Amino acid sequence: MSRQFWAETLTWLTSTPTAVTNTTTETIIAPNVTIPANYLQDGRCLRVRMIGSYGTGTGPPTLIFTIRWGGVAGTVLSKSGAIATTASFGGGASMTALWSMEAFIQTRANGSAGSLMTNGEIMLYSATIPTGGTVTHYGMPAPLASGSTGGSTPVAVTADLTADTALSMTATWSASSTAHSIQALNYSIEAMN
């Protein structure tokens, strides 16, 4: 049986957001997008893609990525573990390494006690161009697992899908330094169906 589905882009960046620097507070790294009430019906899938740059000082710090429903204090839909970074990647205003993220938010059930499964992957790249045929300077993947388990066992998350709600992407540094800096450069959210 054939079914017709339409995809649409819900949001994108038109300028570079302010970098998250010199803080250990969980901070939004790209503007929130408001998902309209009852938009997430059974089976609807959103694809979140983000590419950015980062820099580190000595330490080195760890970095946690989180997707939240309802702003920075809202429900955790998906979270990475504490990702170990490499020290001294030209921190502060000189962010010399790239990172990327892709995640899928799938609606398992709609309503005031809706269910969302949100999984994906974070990739942190080094500041050095890779060497072909070797494992030197390739990106380091890390899981972004559904729920608040920090990159381990994925679980569906209960969320109220009947109200207009902010969808937030955040980053958290383990140590505060003017050298620890991250920002989004490209960002889009697409409705897959």
Domain ranges of the chain: 8-13+35-128+136-191
CA distance 78 to 100: 15
Higher pLDDT, 51 or 132: 51
- Average pLDDT value for the chain: 88
Look at residue 111 and give its three-state secondary structure: coil
| DSSP code of residue 12 | E
Task: Return the minimum-mean-pLDDT range out of 14-28, 74-88, 106-120, 136-150.
Answer: 136-150
The confidence score (pLDDT) of residue 46 equals: 97
Distance CA 142, CA 124 (A): 8
Report in angstroms the alpha-carbon separations of 94 from 70, 88, 143.
32, 11, 27
Q: Are 25 and 180 in contact (CB under 8 A)?
A: no
Q: Look at residue 33 and tell me whether its pLDDT is greater than 60.
A: yes
- Reported as a pLDDT band with limits 50, 70 and 90, residue 59 is confident
pTM of model > 0.85: yes
The string of pLDDT tens digits covering residues 104-144 is 999 999 999 999 999 999 998 876 666 666 666 567 788 99
How confident is residue 88, by pLDDT bands cut at 50, 70 and 90? confident
Give me 18's structure tokens. Answer: 């302010």
